[in-house]
Amino acid sequence: MDPEIKHIITGCIANDRKAQEKLYRRYFPTMMGMCMRHTQDKGEAQMILNNGFLKVFKKIESYKGAGSFEGWIRKIVYHSISDYFRSNAKYVKFLVFEEYDSKVEGVDDKLNEEDILKMIGTIPDASAAVFTLYCIEGYSHKEIADLKNISVGTSKWHLANARKKLQELILQSKSNNNKYVNG
């Protein structure tokens, strides 16, 4: 491990504000870029990132040196992004309809974000996981492939499969008077 990083980590464990600032400044550009991939609102991205760094500082003692430190930070910031979008589930609706707008015309307005999240829960786990990572959390197919130990092509297939299944469920919901609503 880089001695400077080790020194910064030690300082952060000791709650040294200067060490925390060094850590923040060093990883800010990369992590901010990661957050900006998920939202076009710079203020929103900054809020998510700050929440992520707060978690980093609180959990820094748990970093045991296994794997890259930047990867460890990325994972925590990723969870902050995920938590933010999970608590603001309205984004899911747009992600699902984005590709299928013309095919899903006339879907009852009663179908909301919570209903779509329930639908995601009914599709095969691997496809649901890839859909969530790609559409909700903003991972690239390469990142998903590395994270899930699958090929990029398999990641793309799972995404297409999830979108197809969701489209079918949305259309089925329309014909069944929105069985997912409040159920």
Highest mean pLDDT among 104-108, 134-138, 169-173 belongs to 169-173
Q: What is the pLDDT of residues 117-145, one digit of tens each?
A: 778 888 888 888 888 778 766 678 888 88
32-42 average pLDDT score: 82
Specify the range with the lowest mean pLDDT, choosing from 3-7, 116-120, 142-146, 166-170.
116-120
Query: What domains lie within the chain, and their CATH numbers?
Result: 3-87 (1.10.1740.10), 90-175 (1.10.10.10)
Q: Token digits for 164? A: 């197809």
Question: Pick the residue with more confidence: 95 or 86?
Answer: 86
- Using CA atoms of 32, 34, 40, 46 in order, give the dihedral in degrees to the nearest 10: -30
Residue 115 and residue 74: Cα distance in Å, rounded? 30
- Nearest residue to 27 (alpha-carbon basis) of 64, 102, 78: 78
Q: What are phi and psi of 151, to 5 degrees?
A: -80, 160
